[in-house]
Amino acid sequence: MKLHSVVWVIGTLQDIVSGYANPEACSGTCVNAHDPSVIRRSDGTYFRFSTGGKIAVHTAPDIMGPWTYKGAVLPSGSSIDLDGNQDLWAPEVALVGSAYYLYYSVSTFGVQNSAIGVATSSTMDVGSWKDLGSTGIRSSPGKPYNAIDPSLIIADGTYLLTFGSFWKDIHQVPLKNPPKTVASGASAYQLAYDPATTAEEGACVFKRGSYYYLFYSKGQCCGYDANRPPAGGEYKILVCRSTSATGGFVDARGNACSSGGGTVVLESHGYVYGPGGQGVYDDPNYGPILYYHYVDTRVGYADGQKRFRWNTISFSSGWPVV
């Protein structure tokens, strides 16, 4: 047997043992990519947005790369008057009509004084983004949610923004049309909650077939180099599903996502540690993909070493499988 065949067989067996395929390839700038958001422009250019650097922008001709740094979405920071408006988190980009909307978080680590802002662009190019400020989603001590980790979906003509981190986990609220601010009279409602840990965040809702799938991260996201959690306490990606985008999410065993339910989609395996901060994108070249950040245990555990990777996912069983 040729050497490359031996390597392929060993790699395949390792994937079967772990239960997960290894990440697909990434070239160019694939590090320091916390909370990525990916979209492909009509000319074939891929854009990747990530936490830090006032929302870092990278582009590539393919999801595999090579990724090149282009600059910041908001080089002057956010107009939202709140601590953290120069260190923006958790971007989420979506095409709405002919405009791109980028939602972002203004906060500082471990606090509930947070807000979700939005910027728009017709091209996504650096220098083209206009900051519109707050969406009206804001949190403070005493509220049941933290206003970070926004993600937009359009369901039956309604714009829904899913968000939340710790406290009482994942919430959602309708937005106006166009989706710049909260809809008149609307209030946030809970989609997912684990009372045992309250460590759920970074949710996104993805439609496939007759179901809406709620993907989210659970566990400790950061600081692995200084304070690594017990095995299994690190980030992992879970999912629940519903026939409605606005609630009733259950896991593969029928447990309610609002009461601690959740089916694991991807967790630590091999050299991949703490995958999360995910998004799901129906890529025109590869079909549905799950993209995320993780740390490579062969390299290091620091937050600045978080790497961008992705996998194709299959829904053939009715549940997403990497």
Q: So what's the pLDDT on residue 7? A: 29
Task: Give CATH for domain 3-312.
Answer: 2.115.10.20
Q: How far apart are CA 130 and CA 128, in angstroms?
A: 7
Question: Is the separation of the CB atoms in 301 and 273 below 8 Å?
Answer: yes
Q: Determine the pLDDT at residue 107.
A: 97
pLDDT per residue over 46-92, tens digit each? 999 999 999 999 999 999 999 999 999 999 999 999 999 999 999 99
Distant-in-sequence, close-in-space partners of 130: CB < 8 Å, separation ≥ 6: 119, 120, 121
* Interatomic CA distance for residues 81 and 243, integer angstroms: 38
C-beta separation of 123 from 157 below 8 A: no
Partners of 166 in the β-ladder: none
Give φ, ψ of 239 to 5 degrees.
-150, 150
DSSP-derived 3-state class of residue 305: helix
Element (DSSP H or E) covering residue 230: none
Residue 35 near residue 202, CB atoms below 8 Å:
yes
Mean per-residue pLDDT for 248-273? Answer: 98
8-state DSSP, 303:
G
- Quote the DSSP letter at residue 125: -
- DSSP annotation string for 247-268: S--B-TTS-BGGGT--EEEE--
Of 149, 200, 201, 234, the catalytic one is 201
* Residue 35 designated active-site: yes
Closest CA to 172 of 185, 13, 180, 159: 159
What's the confidence (pLDDT) of residue 13?
31
Which residues neighbour 283 within 8 Å (Cβ) at sequence distance 6 or greater? 40, 63, 289
3-state SS class at 172: strand
pLDDT at 10 over 90: no
User: What would the pLDDT profile of 267-318 be if each residue is shown by its tens digit?
Assistant: 999 999 999 999 999 999 999 999 999 999 999 999 999 999 999 999 999 9
d(CA 173, CA 183): 8
pLDDT of 134-156, one tens digit each? 999 999 999 999 999 999 999 99
Decide: 91 and 74 in contact? Cβ < 8 Å. no
Q: Please tell me the total number of residues recorded for the chain in this structure.
A: 322
**Active site residue: 35, 92, 149, 200, which one?**
35
Torsion of Cα atoms, 257 then 301 then 30 then 169, to 10°: 20
Q: Are 217 and 277 in contact (CB under 8 A)?
A: yes
Strand, helix or coil for residue 84 = coil
pLDDT tens for each residue of 86-133: 999 999 999 999 999 999 999 999 999 999 999 999 999 999 999 999
Per-residue pLDDT at 319 = 98
DSSP state of 16: H
Q: Residue 19: its pLDDT value, please?
A: 81
pTM of the predicted structure, to 2 decimals: 0.93
4-15 mean pLDDT: 31
Contact, 115 vs 82, CB < 8 A? yes
Asked if pLDDT for residue 15 goes beyond 50, the answer is no
Helices (H) and strands (E) in the chain, counts: 1, 19
pLDDT of residue 274: 98
Q: For residue 1, what pLDDT band results from cuts at 50, 70 and 90?
A: very low
Which residues are CB-neighbours of 139 under 8 A, at least 6 positions away?
112, 113, 114, 115, 145, 146, 147, 167
Predicted confidence (pLDDT) per residue in 17-39, tens digit: 348 999 999 999 999 999 999 99
